[in-house]
Structure 1
Amino acid sequence: MATAMAKTTTTTMRASSLLLVIVLLLVLQLNSVLSWKKDEFRNCNQTPFCKRARSRKPGSCSLVATDVAIDDGDLIAKLVSKEADKGHGEGEEQQQEEEKEPVKPLIFKLSVFQNGILRVKIDEDPSLDPPKKRFEVPEVVLPEFENKKLWLQRVSTEVINGDSGPSSIVYLSDDHDAVLRHDPFEVYVRRKGGDRVVSMNSHGLFDFEQLRKKKEGEDWEERFRSHTDTRPYGPQSISFDVSFYGAGFVYGIPEHATSLALKPTRGPGIDHSEPYRLFNLDVFEYLHDSPFGLYGSIPFMISHGKAHGTSGFFWLNAAEMQIDVMGSGWDAESGISLPSSQSRIDTFWMSEAGIVDAFFFVGPGPKDVMKQYAIVTGTSALPQQFATAYHQCRWNYRDEEDVAHVDSKFDEHDIPYDVLWLDIEHTDGKKYFTWDRVLFPNPEEMQNKLAAKGRRMVTIVDPHIKRDESFHLHKEATKKGYYVKDATGNDFDGWCWPGSSSYPDTLNPEIRSWWAEKFSFQNYVGSTPSLYIWNDMNEPSVFNGPEVTMPRDAVHYGGVEHRELHNAYGYYFHMASADGLLKRGDGKDRPFVLSRAFFPGSQRYGAIWTGDNSADWDHLRVSVPMILTLGLTGISFSGADVGGFFGNLEPELLVRWYQLGAFYPFFRGHAHHDTKRREPWLFGERNTELIREAIHVRYMFLPYFYTLFREANTSGVPVMRPLWMEFPSDEATFSNDEAFMVGNSIFVQGIYTEHARHASVYLPAGQSWYDLRTGVAYKGGVTHKLEVSEESIPAFQKAGTIVPRKDRFRRSSTQMVKDPYTLVIALNSSKAAEGELYIDDGKSFEFEKGDYIHRRFLFSDGKLVSSNASPPASSNTPFSSDCFIERIVLLGLSLGAKSAIIEPANHRVDIELGPLNLRRGQMPSFPTIRKPNVRIADDWTIKIL
């Protein structure tokens, strides 16, 4: 949904004069966000904590570590100020620093966990009676993570590299130590050989604004435009530097519409640059190359370099955060000698509130860091099979007749799809969990008709609840006191789609449970088991709020200020909605809930999309690094609106977007209600054919995608990956964000300019590559200038891989369940290849009991072997399948092979020449084993004669 588009309908003319005045006032209020306006949002200089932090100079931290000891398996210390802070800014900032009360000791705790994970917490000392407890973000770190703690038994002391004082050293892994430097305070991870990996406060920029009592005459209020933040607890920000050693690039910290490799924001030659902002906002028509924060926030950064591999740093903090990536030479004027024998990338992290709760990940490989982060925050939920297919959405499909028409036209044009979506207009006056009974008089029947074809429906449920005394949900939430409060203690009242609205306080577990109950079939009247959910506007979006969101001094459960948990509000709302779908079906079926706002851990609850993009080539281009960054930070099930949400587009751009979007993990077409209708058959016969082919490509590869979703579910490694994740030593891939890998086998590069006739495509070194469409082999480690046709974008299968497909196309993925498989074997120079296939029932949680099929395919020495890759099922009714393999295509095999023997059946089959793709007409032919008729679930061997 867009930020704040006023809707004028004929019903307005029938409204009372009072209502008309209210509507006109709302239009005036919302007019400022009808397009991107820089002055509607704060920059760093307008954000006092960011401005203060950026004014600090290297070496200004005066903290030293004292009283170091082991307590309850952790390293504990006090951080004490050695001398008055120095090197601050001038003027007002300097005066504020001089007026600070004496710095009280901070409590430092270092914990070590399995898999080489270091956790550092820094907070105020509760024994010194601070005015309030600082907020620690709950229910993000997995409960079982604490069970992986390594109980420290001792700490060694060492003077390192000529330091004037000692450092405390503890074991982190067989290859790494964790080091607490006492004076000046610093914490870092080093390899056993001494080289550093990741450090905090090596530049002495750490600052922790402690809570204190307000002095008489002191003004803590902050003002931005017409809004005033009362700031009842005053300044409470935290900032520090983090350095990544041996790094060539850093990545992560979504969500920003910018390059995959993060660009420097401070340093020589970088003028007027803003930090990367992490502050969940509803941004209308966002810019395509900007560090400005969008709908979600994940304060997790990954570094990568050829010589020293990959490392990561994660700060669990839900307040507004600003992060600088420092350019080379940024600290040259400080005059401070900073020891380092390695190249490094320095970053500077600033947050408005909270505590330090930081995690260091040491890799050493890209997938190791992904797994380490997943151990802390969880892996992606395994989606139902239907959710991995194509989704059709628009704001809005008008009524049941429109729904039936769209559904029938997909069948008429032989275009598969699995899900039809309804936006806010399906409700009764923007009241969620209701239906407009004039436009949608028979919602159950409508859903059941789709379900009969194996299709589902999704409806939207946003967090703003219409303040209408006739609306039962509002009355109940008011009576129970379940709304977020404003600074005066009353229910917060803000404007959103329904007008006057309040917001459930989903930080409270009791309120989340209450919200989840609203999804039951009894409470959500008109819903059926084939209906799923879309959470939009959950940043939260407040049209008349500061920066189109909730005021920072609003109050949540436990007295927590909104400033402290802002970035996690949508996460808790997403959690509650997913739990609602889980409860409604007695926990049998996996939920599907799409969310716009996100936070670390969101991957456990559903899918994410990149929000209100635009129908232009730049937004097509930036969708790739945005989705790649989400995958790097744990959110594998993500995508961008195919075609762009805002604006009308030419058919060529729409076709190119479908061709690229077919490889997004989440594949959905969506558009604003002011755009022309965009269903795939509305752009002429040829364009319909091209879009149909792009969607067919996705359905063909659904077995491969589902296998990758299972890998993400078990390991944290994303479905869609930057090239360097699969080729970590190939420096040509490190900053390439025009291309990506789907799993370890498929390379894809979009076409991002109109009328393109050629594309420069770098194929990573180490293997050859087979064109997905033609089967033609290309050399790796080379940039190829390829001719580009309208029919496809550059896509290749890596030599040495085996990819499972289903080549028969149905109306939906549900109707493909019993169809046979095709295996495409792309042989490498050693005439070998390997791959996997994962299958379960596609919907339930029985896979958690071991009820699935997981096969491993290995081709070597002229033999293809299928073996079981899964442990024995733990239930009495393990999952089984009668599906068989109908074709095996061998790319790179000598044309001299004529037959093969299938064992143990001792059955001989012919090897014929056949096309790579059955539906694409006359294509080059390749050695093909037709109808080997081996069951996908069995062990077997096929030997080439």
Structure 2
Amino acid sequence: MRAFRSLLVLAAVPAALAFKSQDFKTCSQSGFCRRGRALSARASESPSWRSPYSVDASSIALSSDQASFIAAVKSSIYPDVKFSLDVRIHDDGVVRVRMDEVDGLRKHYDEAASWALLDEPKVSQQVQWKVGKDGVSAVYGAKKDVEVKVAFEPLKVTLLRNGKEQVVLNNRGLLHMEHFRTKESVAKGKEGIAVPEEGLDIDDDAQVVLGAHPRTAWFEGEQEDSWWEETFNSFTDPKPRGPESLSVDIDFPNHGHVYGIPQHATRLDLPTTTGENAHYSDPYRLYNADVFEYLADSTTSLYGSIPFMHAHSADSTVAIFNAVGSDTFIDIGHPTAKSSTSHWISETGILDVFIFPGPTPADVFAQYTRLTGTPALPAHWALGYHQCRWNYVSSDDVRTVQKRFDEEDIPVDVFWLDIEYSEEHKYFIWDRKHFPDPVDMIKDVEAIGRHMVVIVDPHLKRTNDYPVYKQATELGILVKKGDGTTDYEGWCWSGSSAWVDFFNPGSWDWWKSLFKTESQGEQWSWVDSTVDTGIWNDMNEPSIFNGPEISMPRENIHYGGWEHRDLHNINGMLFHNLTSQAAMARTDPPKRPFVLTRSFYAGSQRFGAMWTGDNLGTWEHMAVGVKMVLANNIAGFSFAGSDVGGFFGNPEPEMLVRWYGVGIFSPFFRAHAHIDTKRREPFLLDEPYKGIVRDMLRLRYAMLPVWYTAFREASVTGLPVVRPHFVVFPQDENGFSLDDQFFVGGSGLLVKPVTRKGATEETVYLPAEDQVYYDYFNDYAYRSTSSKGKEITVSAELHQIPLFIRGGSIIPTRERPRRSSPLMKRDPFTLRVALSSDGSARGELYLDDGETFSHQQGQFVWREFAAEKPTKKSKGVRISSRDLAAQKPAEAVDHVALTTYDSSNAFAKDIADVRVEKIVVLGLPAKPSSVTIESGKELRWTYTPGVASSDKKGGTASVLVIRDPKLAITGDWSILVQA
């Protein structure tokens, strides 16, 4: 199967066969990053350094309502170059700062935000800017505790809360927007100009010629470092526009931890890249790239880029979103334990920074996702187990794999096909020799509620017998070479390939039409598919085997005349976006699409799922995958996961079992493997490994109500589906760097996946709170304290996963094993009521049809379960269910404004017979005297008293089991436990 691939790429792209650091640029190999870092070095070495940028106070122009202002910015280095500053505060307190060159030789790329944002944000009408002698300021917020100051000279933007600096732009004077110039003007300006010995001691009245002033040489450097051309390996990057990079320092003077900026294989709490004790020597890079077999600890840029960074302290959380789409390097420092610095260096673009004032993590998530969108609510089946490899080789192979899952009673929801399904890698076109009956094959999978996902990559084989390429050529929607007229040709799996320019609006309707499953006459459509087939978008960085850094030449031209260098990091998101729209357009009314992407940008969370790419089957990659998924979750992209088992390699049974323990607690859960690996479907394992994995998968399926409810919350509030410690306990400093354990949504489930070879026990950190944590499997109760957190050591044999229910939580599950999740739709529920230290608990359950958008018309069920003491001194508990949607209709679903909710909607009626079959109460302080429905009907129950440990610091909790109360999951009811 791979013979074709080997012949195709062996000579051109040996880099695609394994990770080679020399195939990807470091900062020192990138001209614009060298320039930016050199500027930072000169600044730090000079005690008298100050930014040359200042606001012309006489130019301040307030809007008519005084809610925003624009001003002219001048540079003492280049006084003839004009810049504009635009500062505004949104309705929710987010501050937007934009600066661009005015009347330059050409435009800087200014469209990155328009692709990421849902809509143009509304400017607050409650804020009024005041112009003073030294700057402009505004005070706002419900408590009038937030202030924004824009200093005139030098230009500096500061966000404060209660007088304390939170975020500062240009704090260290590293702001620099390289203006457009010509070679001729630079050459002319250099004639006869002497550089003084002291670069700072310059007569400001001296004659200034662009590129010639002594201060210029000191500020920008004495050499033209890759201004007009740059060479890397065998590739030459022509730069007819000259230097145009953007550098800005964004500091957090009172926040000692920074997180975010995925995608990197590193810790969640980002290590430093500057200073004597720097963890890394190179900055973090954001440049979407196909990094084959990437390192498990590196600042190397990977497949996606989200320029969104949190800064956190025990006092507050703030964040920034730097709306730039070009290659970007980010240095991070910690001058003190309580402060953080960042220096952003981008190849092109304008300054367009959003400052999120918080002050809590939840506030930041809400502020960010109001701008870029919340994660899409996925189809319910997409939260099940996905089975993939490169490649299932035939229709019979797919049917056999499905049969083996059923024979071993192992649940699975989705089977995947990689690139070998297609004829000569012409996507949409089936290889009829091996897949003679694609629609019948897909329908065989769908017959028992399962789905198939088929890959569609962005490269189009350049041959006129491929209708997709032929139509794209005729429409003139392909990416062009640097001349702006010739279609670009590169090499990928298809051989000689072309790429659709999805920035061109002319491509949009055409691309959506390709996925139609009915004939459209001369217009080609994918009739050999079904409307329920999911789509996998890979290689969309874009990956180009014979291109610089395995990608597209930066001088290529996109719609609007923009170079690829301007929008590289956004490119993959548009492919994902349009494919998602195409999948929805297959039916009317539309169904929720499932589209997996490898490349992404801010806003990609609106369109589907992502995975962390070509990981290795190593313990290090297993562990860092957990951290990477958490990083994506706090960057707004919750539907994330890593390949279970590792894409490369042949993991031993212990490693594979542990990886399934990671996978069942990942929002996106897929096993995937390289074509050269041995088959490793779970049914192939020997015992006891097969039985352990089966039990793990059943646990995932039992907990699907928890996952689906967490996704509903993420789709409305932006809160991540998996939450690191600092999100849930923002004031517990001992947990700020924790990234190997996390909480699942707001459920109260705390999990620590085991990622160490040979482990038989694990250490788990319990938060600083006066609370009890129950072991999910054996009901042992551990108690934390409010004064400080507590580490506990728990058993973690191969069949065990450290999993706890936080006291005060109610967990809804479905315990009956099924072959796939759609077969569970009418199954009864079990409620686990984990009483808190004060004897109370609550939980939520969200249900809808799991497929359509009918929930946006109120077709859903959203329940709240509560447990509380009947009286203050009672040792009993009242457990109740109420309609949460009726109480909070406006908070029920995203993208719609429900004003009322009908609890008897069609979906609720359809599942009216779904019941609660068991209630388990943990931590009841005494044996009940009676258990009744509020009406007085006695229920069947058993009670097992708790057993204290010898040290009195914990012990097995008491367990009350209420059997089959025959209560509707959709109904209001109450159970009274007297004790």
Q: Does 1:246 align with 2:254?
A: yes
Contact 1:78–1:105, Cα closer than 8 Å, also in 2: no
Distance 1:289 1:114 in 2: 40
Q: CA offsets, 1:85-127, max 9 Å, x none?
A: xxxxxxxxxxxxxxxx6551211111111222111111122xx
What corresponds to 2:630 in structure 1?
A: 628
Q: Does 1:776 align with 2:780?
A: yes
Give the partner amino acid of 1:377: T
Shift in Å, 1:736: 1.0
What corresponds to 2:921 in structure 1?
A: 890
What corresponds to 1:730 in structure 2?
A: 732
SS of equivalent residue, structure 1 residue 457: strand
Q: State TM-score, norm by structure 2.
A: 0.88
In 2 relative to 1, CA 389–72 (structure 1 residues): closer, same or farther, beyond 3 Å? farther
Query: Of residues 513, 516, 528 in structure 2, which corresponds to 1:517?
Result: 513
- For structure 1, which segment, 231-240 or 923-932, has the greater mean C-alpha deviation from structure 2 after superposition? 923-932
Shift in Å, 1:810: 0.6
Query: Of residues 343, 348, 351 in structure 2, which corresponds to 1:348?
Result: 343
What corresponds to 2:223 in structure 1?
A: none
SS of equivalent residue, structure 1 residue 584: coil
In 2 relative to 1, CA 652–153 (structure 1 residues): closer, same or farther, beyond 3 Å? closer
Q: Does 1:879 align with 2:907?
A: yes
Distance 1:808 1:924 in 2: 25
What corresponds to 2:61 in structure 1?
A: 69
What corresponds to 1:207 in structure 2?
A: 176
SS of equivalent residue, structure 2 residue 675: coil
What corresponds to 2:218 in structure 1?
A: none
Q: Does 1:83 align with 2:66?
A: no
In 2 relative to 1, CA 166–403 (structure 1 residues): closer, same or farther, beyond 3 Å? closer
Contact 1:118–1:172, Cα closer than 8 Å, also in 2: no
Distance 2:635 2:136 in 1: 32
Structural mapping, 1:725-804, within 5 Å: 725-744=727-746, 745-766=748-769, 767-780=771-784, 781-804=789-812
Query: Of residues 881, 884, 888 in structure 2, which corresponds to 1:869?
Result: 884
Unaligned ranges ≥5, structure 1:
1-5, 13-22, 85-100, 160-164, 330-341, 917-922
In 2 relative to 1, CA 768–478 (structure 1 residues): closer, same or farther, beyond 3 Å? same
Shift in Å, 1:133: 5.0
Unaligned ranges ≥5, structure 2:
188-226, 519-524, 870-876, 890-899, 947-955
Distance 1:234 1:876 in 2: 65
In 2 relative to 1, CA 672–8 (structure 1 residues): closer, same or farther, beyond 3 Å? same
Query: Of residues 261, 281, 289 in structure 2, which corresponds to 1:281?
Result: 289
What corresponds to 2:681 in structure 1?
A: 679
What corresponds to 1:843 in structure 2?
A: 851
Contact 2:883–2:903, Cα closer than 8 Å, also in 1: no
Structural mapping, 1:466-865, within 5 Å: 466-488=461-483, 489-522=485-518, 523-744=525-746, 745-766=748-769, 767-780=771-784, 781-861=789-869, 862-865=877-880
Give the partner amino acid of 1:938: G
Q: Does 1:909 align with 2:886?
A: no
What corresponds to 1:107 in structure 2?
A: 84
Contact 2:858–2:905, Cα closer than 8 Å, also in 1: no
Shift in Å, 1:705: 0.5
Q: CA offsets, 1:183-232, max 9 Å, x none?
A: 111011112x3111111011111000112334279771111111111112
Q: CA offsets, 1:471-525, max 9 Å, x none?
A: 1111111111111001122111000001000000011222122111111103112
Distance 1:556 1:867 in 2: 54
Distance 2:64 2:602 in 1: 27
Query: Of residues 39, 64, 68 in structure 1, which corresponds to 2:22?
Result: 39
Structural mapping, 1:318-329, within 5 Å: 318-328=325-335
Contact 2:617–2:650, Cα closer than 8 Å, also in 1: yes
Distance 2:280 2:665 in 1: 37
SS of equivalent residue, structure 1 residue 115: coil
Shift in Å, 1:836: 0.5
Backbone CA RMSD of aligned residues? 2.1
SS of equivalent residue, structure 2 residue 386: strand
Q: State TM-score, norm by structure 1.
A: 0.91
Q: CA offsets, 1:406-465, max 9 Å, x none?
A: 101111111111000000000111001111111111111111111111000000001000
Contact 2:50–2:154, Cα closer than 8 Å, also in 1: no
Query: Of residues 148, 151, 158 in structure 2, which corresponds to 1:178?
Result: 148
Distance 1:835 1:470 in 2: 57
Contact 2:127–2:140, Cα closer than 8 Å, also in 1: no
What corresponds to 2:111 in structure 1?
A: 136
Q: CA offsets, 1:788-839, max 9 Å, x none?
A: 2111221111111011100001110000000000100100111100110001
Shift in Å, 1:379: 0.1
Distance 2:579 2:173 in 1: 43
Q: Does 1:310 align with 2:280?
A: no
In 2 relative to 1, CA 271–361 (structure 1 residues): closer, same or farther, beyond 3 Å? closer
In 2 relative to 1, CA 295–449 (structure 1 residues): closer, same or farther, beyond 3 Å? same
- For structure 1, which segment, 792-801 or 522-531, has the greater mean C-alpha deviation from structure 2 after superposition? 522-531
SS of equivalent residue, structure 1 residue 824: strand
What corresponds to 2:222 in structure 1?
A: none
SS of equivalent residue, structure 1 residue 266: coil
* Matched residues, number: 883
Contact 2:127–2:138, Cα closer than 8 Å, also in 1: no
Give the partner amino acid of 1:38: S
What corresponds to 1:190 in structure 2?
A: 160
Q: CA offsets, 1:855-913, max 9 Å, x none?
A: 1111001111211111333799542122110000001113511432213x442213214
SS of equivalent residue, structure 1 residue 681: helix
SS of equivalent residue, structure 1 residue 149: coil
Shift in Å, 1:370: 0.7
What corresponds to 2:208 in structure 1?
A: none
What corresponds to 1:54 in structure 2?
A: 37
Structural mapping, 1:383-422, within 5 Å: 383-422=378-417
SS of equivalent residue, structure 1 residue 445: helix
What corresponds to 1:156 in structure 2?
A: 130
Shift in Å, 1:269: 3.4
Q: CA offsets, 1:687-732, max 9 Å, x none?
A: 1101101111100100010000000000000111101111111112
Shift in Å, 1:313: 0.5
What corresponds to 1:336 in structure 2?
A: none
Contact 2:87–2:95, Cα closer than 8 Å, also in 1: yes
Contact 1:821–1:886, Cα closer than 8 Å, also in 2: yes
Distance 1:24 1:395 in 2: 18
SS of equivalent residue, structure 2 residue 12: helix
Contact 2:421–2:430, Cα closer than 8 Å, also in 1: yes
Distance 1:755 1:876 in 2: 53
Distance 1:269 1:591 in 2: 47
Shift in Å, 1:926: 2.1
Contact 1:121–1:358, Cα closer than 8 Å, also in 2: yes
Q: CA offsets, 1:332-365, max 9 Å, x none?
A: xxxxxxxxxx942111111111111111011111
Query: Of residues 434, 446, 452 in structure 2, which corresponds to 1:439?
Result: 434
Distance 1:410 1:213 in 2: 65
Distance 1:752 1:875 in 2: 44
SS of equivalent residue, structure 2 residue 578: helix
Distance 1:526 1:915 in 2: 60
Contact 2:257–2:339, Cα closer than 8 Å, also in 1: no
In 2 relative to 1, CA 405–898 (structure 1 residues): closer, same or farther, beyond 3 Å? farther
- For structure 1, which segment, 70-79 or 561-570, has the greater mean C-alpha deviation from structure 2 after superposition? 70-79
Query: Of residues 86, 95, 112 in structure 2, which corresponds to 1:118?
Result: 95
Distance 2:306 2:9 in 1: 33
Distance 1:207 1:467 in 2: 42
Distance 1:896 1:269 in 2: 58
Give the partner amino acid of 1:130: L
Shift in Å, 1:915: 13
Structural mapping, 1:213-232, within 5 Å: 213-215=182-184, 220-232=228-240
